[in-house]
Structure formats: structure tokens, C-alpha cells
A and B are shown apart, each in its own frame.
Chain A
Amino acid sequence: EVQLVESGGGLVQPGGSLRLSCAASGFTFSSFWMHWVRQGPGKGLVWVSRIKSDGSTTNYADSVKGRFTISRDNAKNTVFLQMNSLRGEDTAVYYCARAGVADSTAFDIWGQGTVVTVSS
């Protein structure tokens, strides 16, 4: 079964750091670009970041550029999101998603999400 499982969320103080993980299974992880998408409480989906299959290329939304870093370990079938200098507006459910097989500009598989709360 193709699956993505996020972990690492929790409560963190403003200015703090957190590292999210997304473990993939059921497909050849090293062949796919991967994304992080977040959703604030009661709000819509927001694209956050993307990483190429081999980790050589990364992209970020302006709202997180310079504070978040996406990376991956293809040997462990895992993608990460290192989040530094966290702010209240970073509070959200964070989903990892796989770039589509037939269309790499779409997201075809989603994890269930991990909750990040930034609060003092």
C-alpha cells in the first residue's frame, strides 16, 4: 500500500525549532519529488516547499524562505522539514504529499498530517 506518515509535530514556543518527518512506503521513494503543504486552523491549504527526487533542488514559499529547510534521506524513504524561528502563523497541520506519477505538478498521495502549534 502506498502510504505517507508524518511525525514530529507538537507544541513549540515562538522562536523555537521543530523537525517534521514523513516516512514513505509502498513506492520507489527515490524516484519522486516530494512536497510539504500546511493548513492553519480553519483555513485553506498552503503550499510550503518541494524537493527533487535526488535532493538536489528545493523550492520554498516566500512565507517560510530562510526559516524552513526541506531535505530527504532516500536510504530511509523519509523527507524532512526543519522549521526554525517559528511564529504563531506557522501553527498548522503539516501534510507531506507526493508529486504525481502522471503529472509531476500535481500532488497524488497525501499523508494524514502532523499538528504544529506555536504558542507561549
Chain B
Amino acid sequence: QTVVTQEPSFSVSPGGTVTLTCGLSSGSVSTSYYPSWYQQTPGQAPRTLIYSTNTRSSGVPDRFSGSILENKAALTIAGAQADDESDYYCVLYMGSGIWVFGGGTKLTVL
């Protein structure tokens, strides 16, 4: 069974830069998995941030960027702000009409 891995939690100082990652329990993440990233605050629906590895969704500030780093998908947030404090989820397309989400990263800005 494929497991998509994310850091359970991360902390960043206001104005700082943080990189969250999305890996596979077995193997490397590449653009062929079409990684996408979603932001979710408690009680709210997810918001799409990044799709196709590195394309920002409409209205997403350019402080958010996506990439592949060392065989993992990565979400970098530059100039972190208080309202970036959220849960962040990646999802990978495994092919054959199957998607697998990571467990999510709880980002704290303090």
C-alpha cells in the first residue's frame, strides 16, 4: 500500500521561509505524479494552492511556490504571515484513476 508522507508539524517565524515536503513510502516523487497542494483552516473546506507541481491556483500569492526537491514534492512559503497558519495537504495522482493524500502538515506561525 502506497503511503504519501508529510511532516506532521512545522513551525516558522513571521516573515520567515518554510518548505513542506511530500514523499512516498517507497520511491521518488516526480512531476509524473502531478503533485498538488491544499491549504485548510479548521472548519473550512480545503483551498487549492498549487497544481501540476508548481502552478499557482488563481488568486494564490506568489509567496507560495511548488517544486520537486530531493525526490519529494515541496511547498515553499516565503515571508510567512499569521494567516498562513493552517493545515497543508499534498495529493499525488497514482495513475489508473487513483489519488492518495498525504497525512497533512500543521503549520504554526510564531
Q: Report which A residues bind B (CB closer than 8 A).
A: 35, 37, 44-47, 50, 57, 59, 61, 95, 97, 100, 102-103, 105-113
Contact = CB atoms under 8 A, between A and B. Distances in A.
A102 B101 contact: no
B102 A44 contact: yes
13 contacts: A35-B99, A37-B101, A44-B89, A45-B40, A45-B101, A57-B97, A97-B46, A100-B48, A103-B51, A107-B46, A109-B48, A110-B45, A110-B48
Contacts of B97: 50, 57, 59
Interface of B: 34, 36, 38, 40, 45-48, 51-52, 55, 57, 87, 89, 91, 93, 96-104
A105 B93 contact: yes
A45 B55 contact: no
Contacts of B48: 100, 106-110
Nearest to B4: A44
A95 B45 CA distance: 8
Given A45-B89, A45-B91, A105-B34, A110 B46 contact: yes
Classify the interface of chain A: helix, strand, loop or mixed: strand
Given A106-B51, A112-B45, A47 B36 contact: no
B7 to A, nearest CB: 13
Given A102-B55, A103-B52, A107-B36, A44 B103 contact: yes
Contacts of A113: 45
A45 B52 contact: no
Contact of A103 (B55, B87, B100, B101): B55
A51 B46 CA distance: 20
A100 B89 contact: no
B57 to A, nearest CB: 7
Contacts of A109: 48
Contacts of A112: 45
B10 to A, nearest CB: 15
Contacts of A61: 98
A100 B46 CA distance: 14
Nearest to A110: B45
Contacts of B87: 44
